[in-house]
Amino acid sequence: MKYKSTRGGGSHEYYTFEEALLRGYAPDGGLFVPTSLPTIAAECLRSWSSLPYPELAYNVLRMFISPSEINDQQLKDICNKSYAMEEFDDASFIPVKKLGSAFIAELFHGPTFCFKDFGMRPAINLLSHFATLRNRATTILVSTTGDTGPAAVHAVSEAANPLLTIIVHYPHGQISEFQRKQLTTVNSKYVKVAAFEGGGDDMDWPIKETLLMNGDNDAANGERTFCGINSYNIGRPLLQMVHFIWIYFRTVEQLGVEPGDMNYKIDMVLPTGAMGNLTGGYMAKLMGVPIGKLCAGVNINGENRVANQVLNKGEFHKKRIQKTLSDAINIEVPYNFERIAYFVTECNCSLVKEWMAVMEQTHQLTLEPDWQARFRLDFDSASVTDDEMCHVLRIGSATLNYVADPHTAVAMAAAEKLGYKFTTESSAGQIIPMVIIATASPCKFKEAVTVALGQDGWNCWKEKNFPVRAQKTIQMKEVEPFLYPWTEGASLKDVQSLWRQMMLDIVSNNFSLSHELR
């Protein structure tokens, strides 16, 4: 399998999986996509439906990585290591439970209590594999609105490969205390943490510039390779397909539906930020997994609910972000929209390129009505205020006996708004074939859960449910992160240039090539 840019790139510009994974962005500024999407036939789905998680992941990945790049045994080892049972605190990996008259899939039983572990762990282990194979010092640059960072640093410190290091950046004061502790208590010489005095995606540009700079030194030429692992990296959405397939299986099982039955589709509602998870779900659907509508639950922060506006009204308009109770999905530009647009337009690179050029130049893209209608065939979306999120969190706790994290609660509130009405169990006992995708454990969001449920509500949940491993994180000593300051009166671009230099300094002062290259 080869990869290409959503914007087409040059003619015959195809990349191996390794190249796509390392580069992050395509050289023309687009995002990597596989040159084709294989089909998963109904009988194949049936045969996969009873596989353990690591084997399902292996089978899905095998379709997207050529054996000449990674052989069967290596790929199996990577999947087994990434999804080792002892790292997960629920024997079913992703339990799919009844919630009211629908379902909820808990993707937060991994090491950092967030769905991002599922895509991140194998992506990091693949990078580690290639770093060793090429004897190439690789430094991962990450910017996080909360959960990407912990998943990445945990996986990097566990890989313990001197060739693989990471700097993770978070917006100062805009992640939860628990998330910060997850970053600042990691004790590994391969991990550095920095806080920047800006908004959610203000470190995206400095990182993107740095990644594009190292473009052509893929070969082991003694230089360091920088790599970005946020969900613009194709590794993330590819791997995130696996959990949608798994959730589909666990849901139809409970409904008594044969896996692969196209007459019975399952809708999924997910809290949405950069649309990386949505892209994973969409690729699974396009490959033949009977997923119905994919619905994005988006928070409203100030003006910002771009993901919602673009899916519903075709308006891809950049807005400044403000703090919310669900900060992990605060995002100015949900960049994976580009991949979704690529697939919706049936791989029309020139149209995607045109759309993205308008977006980049004017920060405003409005799709034509025909295209808006086309998006709405596969997607739906609702945006949710903090108040609405808190309201549904209270209903969940009081009537369904279920406490969700604030992001999952955004999806729950969105589902209600979209008409699923799953919180009021129907009198006929009818089950709605819809799954809420629970992306994080409430244990990460004490502040927000307390706003919704009050101190007593939080204490009550905590007493019975707080994971033991999370308790350990709270008690560990924090190491002060680097701080990238805001300069009063300077332009965002100037500040970002300064931050970029600070980032490069951290790399050269802390990750010395001679130590890494043996």
DSSP string, 236-249: HHHHHHHHHHHHHH
Smaller CB distance to ligand PLP: residue 243 or 407?
Answer: 407
Considering only the stretches 258-266, 274-282, 418-426, 503-511, report the one whose residues sit in contact with ligand PLP under the rule CB under 6 A.
274-282
CB 383 within 8 A of CB 312: no
* Cα 90 versus chain centre, distance: 21
Does 171 bind ligand PLP (CB under 6 A)? Our answer is no
* Least distance CB 116 / ligand PLP (angstroms): 6
Eight-state DSSP code of residue 477:
P
Strand order in the sheet with 96-99: 96-99, 102-106, 434-438, 266-271, 291-299, 379-384
* Least distance CB 256 / ligand PLP (angstroms): 30
Per-residue binding letters, 122-161, with ligand PLP (x by CB under 6 A): ------------------------xx--------------
Tokens of 10: 């040059």
| Among positions 439, 495, 496, 500, the unique one binding ligand PLP when judged by CB under 6 A | 439
Does 382 bind ligand PLP (CB under 6 A)? Our answer is no
Number of residues that bind ligand PLP (CB under 6 A): 18
Smaller CB distance to ligand PLP: residue 286 or 504?
Answer: 286
Does 276 bind ligand PLP (CB under 6 A)? Our answer is yes
Question: Residue 8, by phi and psi: left (phi above 0), alpha (psi -120 to 50) or beta?
Answer: left
Give the sign of the dihedral formed by CA 95, CA 444, CA 141, CA 134: negative
Does 329 bind ligand PLP (CB under 6 A)? Our answer is yes
* Least distance CB 272 / ligand PLP (angstroms): 4
Question: Residue 54, by phi and psi: left (phi above 0), alpha (psi -120 to 50) or beta?
Answer: alpha
| Among positions 5, 49, 101, 231, the unique one binding ligand PLP when judged by CB under 6 A | 231
Cβ partners under 8 Å of residue 285, min gap 6: 244, 291, 294, 378
DSSP string, 387-400: HHHHHHHHHHHHHS
Given the structure tokens 């190491």, which residue do they identify? Answer: 479
| Among positions 171, 259, 271, 481, the unique one binding ligand PLP when judged by CB under 6 A | 271
Does 381 bind ligand PLP (CB under 6 A)? Our answer is no
Per-residue binding letters, 335-374, with ligand PLP (x by CB under 6 A): ----------------------------------------
- Interacting residue ranges for ligand PLP, rule: CB under 6 A: 114, 116, 146-147, 231, 271-278, 328-329, 407, 439-440
